[in-house]
Structure 1
Amino acid sequence: MPSPLADPVKLPCGLVLPNRLSKAAMAEMMAKTNHPTDPLLDAYSQWSEGGWGSILTGNVQVDVNHMGSPFDPALHTEYKGATTDSALVSSWKKYADAAQKHGTPAIVQICHPGRQSFRVAGYRGMFAQTLAPSAVPVKIGDGLIERIVASLVWSQPKEMTNADIERVIRQFVDTARLMADAGFSGVQLHGAHGYLIDQFLNSKTNLRTDAYGGTPAKRAKFVLDILTETRKVVPATFCIGIKLNSADHSSKTFEETMTQIALLAEAGIDFMEISGGTYEDPKMMGHAKTDAETTELPKSARTAAREAFFLEFSKEVRKRHPDLVLMLTGGFRTRAGAESAILDEACDLVGIGRPAAVDPKFPLLLLDESVTEGNAGMQLNKAPIPWYTRFLPLHLAGAGAESTYYVDQIRRFAKGLATIGPPL
């Protein structure tokens, strides 16, 4: 019997994904010029052969002055259109063609890190302020070492003016328009992991009392404006998705989060990816804080035995919005785990990250009916933590080790070298 993972999925914009397996967005750290590079294209060329239903790129930053990492691709200046900036479009078209050369739709994750932009990332200078909805600094712990590390890694954020907000909205729109002109199938707005859109949505980091803060709906205005303005300048068939956090909202603010999801669904988002975590509490990497301040939806015994990190939250969204196309990412390792999430109607798309860095053709294994259930998957241990990071908070060091390890695997397969998961 064919796996439900092999079923195609049609998005509201009309884009058809040939199956339910999505290569999730991961850091590649391969754009040393902050433009698409040959090594980056080589990696996506490998993924394009992997039988994925969709390929989500790693972060493309909308402002080269404010970067999530020093080696992300980014928009360098205002995009004036395909005719005026034909050389720029040609450069990005090579990226789109590499990722989609075997017919898999590629969707670009576009992002602004806000207060989480490292001092060494971006062209603004090491001592220049970051941008944020409110001047709330990144806090990774209460101890002296944690405070020192945070002050060294991140500068003090500046509360954005209305002019700042309007400029960043334009940058998101410009980036989406460039991706459409280059031939990508869509964009995904990165509204999770503590980046700028998430900072606006979250009452802990958005203390504003103007049109962009004070209520759940007003905190959602920033991303809704981006969505509305982007729709005006891209083809109707161009996909616009969003990645949202589930895990960084306490039970007290759960209904506020659901209010914001309802607004996005009403605005016509094509799909919503459920993820979670921030630099302060990196659940998306499987390294969460254990303090009593972090609360989520209660997890059932069945969920604890499953692979998905954020399953319960996704099921609640599905119950309230049965027509919203949901993608669930975080922890999937086997065919059985992915099928369980689909059959349980928790999601429509399964996002796969770390296994895709070890085997870019992982879907071919999961979808091969001749492969037995016990062999249709990949076991991965935690990445080893380097000794020189032991002074860092454990959750931060662990998340950094995970990201670094899998970046190295992506670089290896891009060069045609063998990859290996962390030893069990």
Structure 2
Amino acid sequence: MELLMKDPIKLPCGLWLQNRLVKAAMAEDMADSSHLPHSKFLEAYGKWAKGGWGGILTGNIQVDVRYLGNYNDLAIDEFDDDTNAVLDTWRLYANRCQEHGTPVIAQISHPGRQSRRGAGRRGIFTPTIAPSPIPLYLGDGYVASCISSMVFGKPREMSINDIKQVIHQFVNCARILAICGFSGIELHAAHGFLLSQFLSPRTNRRLDEYGGSNDKRVRIVLEIIKGIREVVPSGFCIGVKFNSSSDDSSTFEDSMRQIGLLVEAGIDFLEISGGTFEDPIMMGRGTYSDRKTHRSHGTLAREAFFWEYAVKTRKRFPNLILMLTGGFRSRQGIEDALQNNVCDLVGIGRPAVINPAYPRLIMTNTSPDHQAKVSLNKVATPFWSTFFQINALGGGAETFTDLNDDRGKEIKNPHTIP
């Protein structure tokens, strides 16, 4: 039987992906002080460009250079379009990603309260910004509380002017990326970053037009989408990365309502992921009732972390292009999700780092199923993180590889969270 993952797919904007496998967004954490995509990015993405992917998602490109998630994030300054040399650097990045015909979609983001002190061009004592002044909760212990205070601090509640500026920054970032040849953008509204903070009633306790009800909490994302559509070509893709919710009826229905509004806004795809700095389930761990919410006993054999939520989303929105990311390792696991119509696209993270040509491995018919996979070690939570009751540390450990080393040697980098 022919593999469904080999089938091309057309997004609503008209963009074609040559197959169903997408190199997922991961935190590269390797920009220099200019926060521009220089040689390291060209080298890494040049390898993925040759890998046979249907699409390539970049790691975070921050929309405000003052607020970064990692110290070495990429970022687009508001005045980058006034500098030809800067635009040429972004064009070179887009061209390198797409030099073999694979479209590249840039994940654009604002960390909000998850911006570390010193990460970005702001004073070390300048507070982060957030919908409401709620600090990060990293655990019950005294040490966890101290780390939260020292590393992140208490965020400043955003004014309406702040919100309008952030909307402008997202729109401007997308406009510049479209000018430079990217095929689309994905709004990062998951993993506890700023847009996700607006969507959640736990972190958004505003009572104005951007909070106080479910529809108002999603308003900032809808205004960003509308603004981007007005300044980019019609064929430019707009996707959204979205956190799965718990099975609590009200929380689940809130998330379905938000997805419905995103669909009405005309998004091209929705990527389902999950987790935050406080609850790092995107690394295969986290609280969320020890992941029972997302993987019940009946689905533990399945690879995808968020299978059940994707199934429920599909029932509500059968025509929405769904991308499911997290946990996929093998041909059988990916094909199972596609054949069961759980999703249309599969996001591949860590296996893409170990093997940049992962699609060629699992789509080659000469390779038997038991070989068409990548085996990865579980990223262990450090003992001291457990001892001091710190949720996030260790959960953010990501697997990196030297992309010049064909052996794919794993190295742990505790500073990166996808």
Which interval holds the TM-score relative to the shorter structure?
over 0.9
Q: Give the percent of matched residue pairs that are identical in Structure 1 and Structure 2.
A: 49
Task: Quote the offset at 1:392 in angstroms.
Answer: 5.0
Give runs of aligned pairs for residues 343-358 of structure 1, distance below 5 A.
343-358=339-354
Task: Quote the offset at 1:152 in angstroms.
Answer: 1.5
* Aligned residue number for residue 269 of structure 1: 267
Task: Quote the offset at 1:145 in angstroms.
Answer: 1.6
Q: Which amino acid aligns with 2:214?
A: P
Task: Quote the offset at 1:420 in angstroms.
Answer: 2.8
Give runs of aligned pairs for residues 163-242 of structure 1, distance below 5 A.
163-242=161-240
For 2:172, what is the secondary structure of its paired residue?
A: helix
Tell me, in whole angstroms, the C-alpha distance in 2 between the residues paired with 1:357 and 1:250: 35
Tell me, in whole angstroms, the C-alpha distance in 2 between the residues paired with 1:290 and 1:162: 32
Q: Give the conservation status (yes or no) of the 8 Å contact 1:30–1:37.
A: no
Alignment CA distance shift 1:113-1:248 (3 Å): farther
Q: Give the conservation status (yes or no) of the 8 Å contact 2:277–2:396.
A: no
* Aligned residue number for residue 111 of structure 1: 109
Give runs of aligned pairs for residues 270-289 of structure 1, distance below 5 A.
270-289=268-287
Q: Does 1:418 align with 2:407?
A: yes
Alignment CA distance shift 1:134-1:51 (3 Å): same
Q: Give the conservation status (yes or no) of the 8 Å contact 2:114–2:193.
A: yes
Q: Give the conservation status (yes or no) of the 8 Å contact 1:249–1:295.
A: no
Q: Which amino acid aligns with 2:23?
A: K
**What's the C-alpha RMSD, in Å, of the aligned pairs?**
1.9
1:64-106 deviations in whole A, cap 9, x for unaligned?
1000101011012335x4xx43222211001001111100010
Task: Quote the offset at 1:149 in angstroms.
Answer: 1.4
For 1:243, what is the secondary structure of its paired residue?
A: strand
For 2:393, what is the secondary structure of its paired residue?
A: helix
Q: Which amino acid aligns with 1:335?
A: R
Q: Give the conservation status (yes or no) of the 8 Å contact 1:119–1:154.
A: yes
Normalising by structure 2, we get a TM-score of 0.94
For 2:119, what is the secondary structure of its paired residue?
A: coil
Task: Quote the offset at 1:302 in angstroms.
Answer: 3.5
Q: Which amino acid aligns with 2:260?
A: A
Task: Quote the offset at 1:172 in angstroms.
Answer: 0.4
Q: Which amino acid aligns with 1:320?
A: R
Task: Quote the offset at 1:301 in angstroms.
Answer: 3.5
Q: Give the conservation status (yes or no) of the 8 Å contact 1:2–1:369.
A: no
Q: Give the conservation status (yes or no) of the 8 Å contact 2:139–2:391.
A: no
For 2:74, what is the secondary structure of its paired residue?
A: coil
Task: Quote the offset at 1:398 in angstroms.
Answer: 2.6
Any gaps of 5 or more consecutive residues in structure 2?
413-418
Normalising by structure 1, we get a TM-score of 0.93
For 1:375, what is the secondary structure of its paired residue?
A: coil
Any gaps of 5 or more consecutive residues in structure 1?
none
* Aligned residue number for residue 27 of structure 1: 27
Tell me, in whole angstroms, the C-alpha distance in 2 between the residues paired with 1:264 and 1:400: 28
Tell me, in whole angstroms, the C-alpha distance in 2 between the residues paired with 1:209 and 1:253: 19
* Aligned residue number for residue 7 of structure 1: 7
Q: Does 1:307 align with 2:303?
A: yes
For 2:271, what is the secondary structure of its paired residue?
A: strand
Task: Quote the offset at 1:251 in angstroms.
Answer: 4.2
Alignment CA distance shift 1:348-1:171 (3 Å): same
For 1:258, what is the secondary structure of its paired residue?
A: helix
Tell me, in whole angstroms, the C-alpha distance in 1 between the residues paired with 2:410 and 2:302: 20
Q: Does 1:126 align with 2:124?
A: yes
Q: Which amino acid aligns with 1:361?
A: A
Tell me, in whole angstroms, the C-alpha distance in 1 between the residues paired with 2:246 and 2:121: 29
Tell me, in whole angstroms, the C-alpha distance in 2 between the residues paired with 1:378 and 1:416: 16
* Aligned residue number for residue 68 of structure 2: 67
Alignment CA distance shift 1:290-1:146 (3 Å): farther
For 1:109, what is the secondary structure of its paired residue?
A: strand
Tell me, in whole angstroms, the C-alpha distance in 1 between the residues paired with 2:365 and 2:274: 32
Aligned residue pairs, count? 411
* Aligned residue number for residue 415 of structure 2: none
Tell me, in whole angstroms, the C-alpha distance in 1 between the residues paired with 2:274 and 2:406: 32
Q: Give the conservation status (yes or no) of the 8 Å contact 1:13–1:238.
A: yes
Task: Quote the offset at 1:163 in angstroms.
Answer: 0.5
Task: Quote the offset at 1:363 in angstroms.
Answer: 0.5
Tell me, in whole angstroms, the C-alpha distance in 1 between the residues paired with 2:152 and 2:127: 9
Q: Which amino acid aligns with 1:377?
A: K
Task: Quote the offset at 1:399 in angstroms.
Answer: 1.7
For 2:61, what is the secondary structure of its paired residue?
A: strand
Q: Give the conservation status (yes or no) of the 8 Å contact 2:205–2:211.
A: yes
Q: Which amino acid aligns with 1:418?
A: R
Q: Give the conservation status (yes or no) of the 8 Å contact 2:78–2:172.
A: no
Q: Which amino acid aligns with 2:363?
A: L
For 1:398, what is the secondary structure of its paired residue?
A: coil
